[in-house]
Amino acid sequence: MAPLDPPARPTSRTERRTIDMVPESERHGTPFSQFTLWFGANMQITAVVDGALAVVFGADALWAIIGLLIGNLTGGVIMALHSAQGPRLGLPQMISSRAQFGVLGAVVPLVLVIVMYLGFAATGTVLAGQAVDEIVGTHAQIVGIAVFGALTALVAVLGYRYIHGLGRTATVLGGLGFTYLAIRLVTTTDDFGSIFGAKPFDSVTFLLAISLGAGWQLTYGPYVADYSRYLPSTTSPRTTFHCTLWGSVIGSQWSMTFGALVAAVPVASGAGFLDNQVGFLGGLGGGGAVALLIYLVIVVGKLTVNCLNAYGGFMSILTSVSAFTGGRQISQRARGLYITGFIAVSMLIAVLASNDFLDNFKNFVLTLLMVFTPWSAINLVDYYLISREKVDIPALYDPAGRYGRWNSVALTSYTAGVLAQIPFLAQTLYTGPVTTALGGADISWIVGLLLTAALYYALSRGRSRAPKQMIYPQGIEERPALDTSVEAHDAGNQLPI
């Protein structure tokens, strides 16, 4: 195995760590940085579109907002439990999956994670490219996509500190911009109150709204710890959990609520949003210089989350490759090539897949639920209940070590969790028989989450591969972390919530 770099402080703000453990000497920041990052990453136009989908596909605005809130809270709790792992482990999220799936087995969910990153990067690039076009006045989509891709590559290559800085900027701009747009929507819409209660409660569309909110949050799970791993190891998991949870939930619910309201306003205005999401928001802002500022808000918000996608995509690719090569670090040049290649592919997808955006995006989000809820269930059950927050970190890089190449229990549980959802799916290409019997309600993600968690726990209990205590790499001296193990908690307070 390749040795870790010595734990010296970096001489510049440009990140040099990748999938190796962050030593204590390089830890910095406070848990509040998680709030601003995830709030800023969710105050953006794709979240607005996600909220609008609930109304577009039939829900009343009021019930759509309530359903989205339930989904955001449910998925947000799961997502934030992943974030709480970051300070203790000092590792990117998907490297820790090797403790459950094995060093090579973890490549299976990793491939799907990479597809997710590409999909979200591409859909975000479509909208951000339109905003860039409006700002520079080219009205050629490829120009906006290229400019946005270059900005994403720059920040993602610079790394962790710059991404967090961008998140703080997006928090301020997004909060101001979307508040202004909400005020404009209310004051320029005749009889705004009539959009509430315009349709009767419908369980199918209500469950769709819950799924859209939950799916949005759950898809952050595979990379949320990437952005908490630099926090000092003494950082409270509970504080990290809550800062991440409320930053993500408040930001996403704010954006999605606005999206549901925009989609519910009288047909003339709503049709404008469906036809041209970016142009509609610029027009809602009042046009002229104000519209340019709104387009800037859109670009900064999308740039924040797209950097998360590019950064996470790069590390997921590197994690997959390193499972076979054994490496942990690469040169800055190689890092740049990985990120640039990832962004180039996402840009190509954006150019080719811009038609039928809303319908494709809904199906994309719901499909992601199918493949990531089982992964989340396995990771969280193992970390908090089976391994009890104890990991042999050097063994994560050694196929011959404690965790082995493959873990058949995790792979079997994961496969069962995915397959069990098929009868419950509600997709354009396929609707499961149970879904048909339920009138079209998609509850597949709930089935996948609960069944996988129960199955993995039953098969893994008493067979833990975890060490009795945390094992750190040689040459890295960690300060004693807060004792967050199960033994340190009362029976009813085992998780950092």
C-alpha 248/C-alpha 124 separation (Å) is 17
- Residue found under tokens 């807060």: 482
410 token code pair: 């995790």
Contact of 108 with 253, CB cutoff 8 Å: no
Contact of 328 with 322, CB cutoff 8 Å: yes
245 token code pair: 């949870």
* Backbone angle region of 404, left / alpha / beta, with phi > 0 → left and psi within -120 to 50 → alpha: left
401 token code pair: 């070590």
Beta carbons within 10 angstroms of residue 395's beta carbon: 20
Q: H-type helices in 276-393, by residue range? A: 277-284, 288-325, 332-352, 357-380
475 token code pair: 């040459």
Q: How far is CA 97 from CA 83, 94, 263, 483, in A?
A: 14, 5, 39, 22
C-alpha 4/C-alpha 328 separation (Å) is 7
Digit-by-digit pLDDT tens for the chain (497 residues) are 343 344 444 446 788 888 889 999 999 999 999 999 999 999 999 899 899 989 988 899 999 999 999 999 999 999 999 999 999 999 998 899 999 999 999 999 898 888 888 888 888 888 888 899 888 887 777 888 899 999 999 999 999 999 999 999 999 999 999 999 999 999 988 888 888 988 889 888 899 899 899 989 998 988 899 999 999 999 999 999 999 999 999 999 999 999 999 998 875 444 577 778 888 899 998 888 999 999 999 999 999 999 999 999 898 999 999 998 877 777 888 888 999 999 999 888 888 765 565 566 656 666 766 888 899 999 999 999 999 999 999 999 999 999 999 999 999 999 999 999 888 877 766 778 887 877 777 788 889 999 999 999 999 988 888 999 999 887 565 444 444 443 444 433 456 66
Contact of 387 with 109, CB cutoff 8 Å: no
Structure confidence by residue, pLDDT tens digits, 367-419? 766 888 899 999 999 999 999 999 999 999 999 999 999 999 999 999 999 99
Instruction: With residue 157 as reference, give the H or E element that holds it.
Output: helix 141-158
C-alpha 386/C-alpha 390 separation (Å) is 9
Domains defined for the chain, CATH in brackets: 28-358 (1.10.4160.10)
b/e sequence 14-39, b meaning 16+ C-beta within 10 Å: ebbbbbbbbbbebbebebebbbbbbb
C-alpha 256/C-alpha 107 separation (Å) is 33
Contacts of residue 97, defined as CB under 8 A and 6 or more positions apart, other chains included, come to 106, 109, 110, 375, 379
For the entire predicted model, the pTM comes to: 0.88
338 token code pair: 């990985």
Q: How far is CA 302 from CA 88, 128, 413, in A?
A: 29, 6, 35
C-alpha 320/C-alpha 308 separation (Å) is 18
Q: How far is CA 67 from CA 171, 179, 445, 450, in A?
A: 24, 21, 15, 20
b/e sequence 298-307, b meaning 16+ C-beta within 10 Å: bbbbbbbbbb
